[in-house]
Structure 1
Amino acid sequence: MILGEKIKARRKELGYNADFLAEKTGLSRSTIFRYEKGDIEKIPTEILSIIAQALSTTPSLLMGWNTDGLVDEITTISQELPRAKQQLVLEFAKKQLEINTVSNIPEENPSVLSFPQKTTTLFEVRGITEVAAGIGFGYDDTDTYTVFTDEEPPTHDFATMINGDSMEPTYHNGDMLYLKETFGSQFSGQLLVVAIEDRTYFKKVYQEGNQLRLVSLNPSYKDLYFHLDEYTHFKSYQVVGTFTPVYPNEL
């Protein structure tokens, strides 16, 4: 079965019509049909990746490459996760690679080395999507996940993951913030997470009249300005602590 036929077979397996796949990929309906018919034999790598993601599969499976299926399964599952959880998967994989490299564990015998066991108390923390240390991300308090820390959390409402580098060198991409909702209306440089309409930002916040100025710690980023009378939804959250997630399998 050629590549185009596999794309078509996977599309039909999922119950998608060509119009739906075109909408998910940003391609035209006619382009989808040309790929499936084989009129275009060489599909660019980046386009194939987009099609594979839309079809909840991987380029290697569509290409028919021989794999043991494990990497493809990990990729497929990761594609279905929200961005914050994808970040956790990435950090976990990086940590496992670091452990494997330092320990020089042979691939064919991953349990050849033993490590001393230790008892660590872990605390569960409820996380909600992610917050941008950059240009802003959507906030959805129905999309929750659980992370762990080995330090007792402070009193907080929920936690969220930093995405971006605009608050470095103090706060880093992938770190978690403990947040409490605030009800004040005057801001003079506090470190806050602010939700404005469907976007969230982690910045130093200044109020200048009816305007908010959001300032990054990283000087590479320009200040952001928002006129409050132009928005119907605004919430602010005080940062009461930060931590780097701990993964139970690493202990």
Structure 2
Amino acid sequence: MNFGENIKRLRTSANLTQSELAKQLGIKQSSYVSWEQKKSNPTLELLEKLSAIYQIPVRKIIEKDDIKTDESKLLDQFRLLTKNQQEELVDFANFLSQKPKPILTVAPNVIELKTFKRQYLNYAVVEDEQLSAGYGQTVTNTGEKYKAYTDERLSRYDGAARIKGESMEPDFPNYSIATFLKTGFDQDGGIYAISEGDLGEEQLYIKQIFQEGDHFRIHSLNPNYKDFYLGEEDNFRIIGPVVDNFTEIEGDQIED
């Protein structure tokens, strides 16, 4: 099991979402997502934070071998004990083993943060508005734009925006960047950027769209979200198909 699979297993076992864990670590969700996708690795400081959250040694996070089932059950039971009970259990374990266990230390070959040369990266010009991958979000567009960098090749696009929400996961992660065309609707079952509402008060979505008679069925890839329908009476428009989606490379990973 590799590092990305290790941390994903630990997160799901702890019933944490990517956004919840990223908040505890004090980083952007896109940074954490890149660890699970094996596109980058955490610093030693962040590894130690993960160790504290899961209450396991750093070695158990970065090693390939999984925690044995019996060890995992024992760890779960240990966490349910009071502090005094934990201390008594530790003393008893030391007695059984005849001598205290050596303190585990981090291996000298610390995982280094992957870096990129700016000149070799591609980027999308992103507007400050966001595409909701939930049930919609009212958006105020200030007209400001910024560059989001990626090492992936990007197809031609007319617009780009950041995704907010988890309804299109796992294919379109929360806080990732989506690029799209402004060519309207042309393929049933495609993934589209759509807007609903009056100008300046639109709700923007990224959704899978199916045409059913005079209405469109708006579908989420995440099964926890229900479909809904939009028609002419709903004051909405299909902006165009999504062509690319990528996790932004953080600024501290880019070298000029």
TM, length-normalised to structure 1: 0.52
Cα RMSD between the aligned structures?
3.4
1:221 maps to 2:225? yes
Cα deviation digits, residues 60-90 of structure 1 (max 9, x gap):
xxxxxxxxxxxxxxxxxxxxxxxxxxxxx73
Match of 1:9 in 2: none
Q: How does 1:4-83 map to 2 (within 5 A)?
A: none
| Change beyond 3 A, Cα 1:220–1:190 | same
Match of 1:21 in 2: none
Q: 2:42, 2:113 within 8 Å by CA — same for their partners in 1?
A: no
Q: Out of 206, 211, 227, which is 1:207 matched to?
A: 211
Match of 1:195 in 2: 195
Give, in whole Å, the separation in 2 of the partners of 1:239 and 1:221: 20
| Change beyond 3 A, Cα 1:130–1:217 | same
Give, in whole Å, the separation in 2 of the partners of 1:122 and 1:168: 25
Q: How does 1:1-251 map to 2 (within 5 A)?
A: 90-91=28-29, 98-101=42-45, 120=117, 121-128=120-127, 129-139=129-139, 140=141, 142-184=143-185, 188-197=188-197, 198-231=202-235, 233-251=236-254
> SS of 2:154's equivalent?
coil
Match of 2:73 in 1: none
Give, in whole Å, the separation in 2 of the partners of 1:230 and 1:188: 20
2:136 maps to a residue whose letter is G
- 1:118 is displaced (CA, Å) by 6.3
Give, in whole Å, the separation in 2 of the partners of 1:123 and 1:138: 30
Cα deviation digits, residues 112-156 of structure 1 (max 9, x gap):
x9x699663222321122111111123437242221112232111
Following TM superposition, where does structure 1 have runs of at least 4 consecutive aligned residues deviating by more than 4 angstroms? 91-97, 115-119
| Change beyond 3 A, Cα 1:213–1:122 | same
Q: 2:30, 2:176 within 8 Å by CA — same for their partners in 1?
A: no
Give, in whole Å, the separation in 2 of the partners of 1:215 and 1:193: 12
Cα deviation digits, residues 184-242 of structure 1 (max 9, x gap):
4x5521111111221111111012222111001111111011121341x5232211111
Match of 2:54 in 1: none
Q: 1:212, 1:226 within 8 Å by CA — same for their partners in 2?
A: yes
**Identity in percent:** 24
Give, in whole Å, the separation in 1 of the partners of 2:124 and 2:147: 6
Q: How many residue pairs align between the two structures? A: 155
The answer to which structure, 1 or 2, has the higher relative contact order (CA under 8 A, 6+ apart) is: 2
Q: 1:149, 1:243 within 8 Å by CA — same for their partners in 2?
A: yes
Give, in whole Å, the separation in 2 of the partners of 1:122 and 1:149: 6
> SS of 1:219's equivalent?
coil
> SS of 2:233's equivalent?
helix
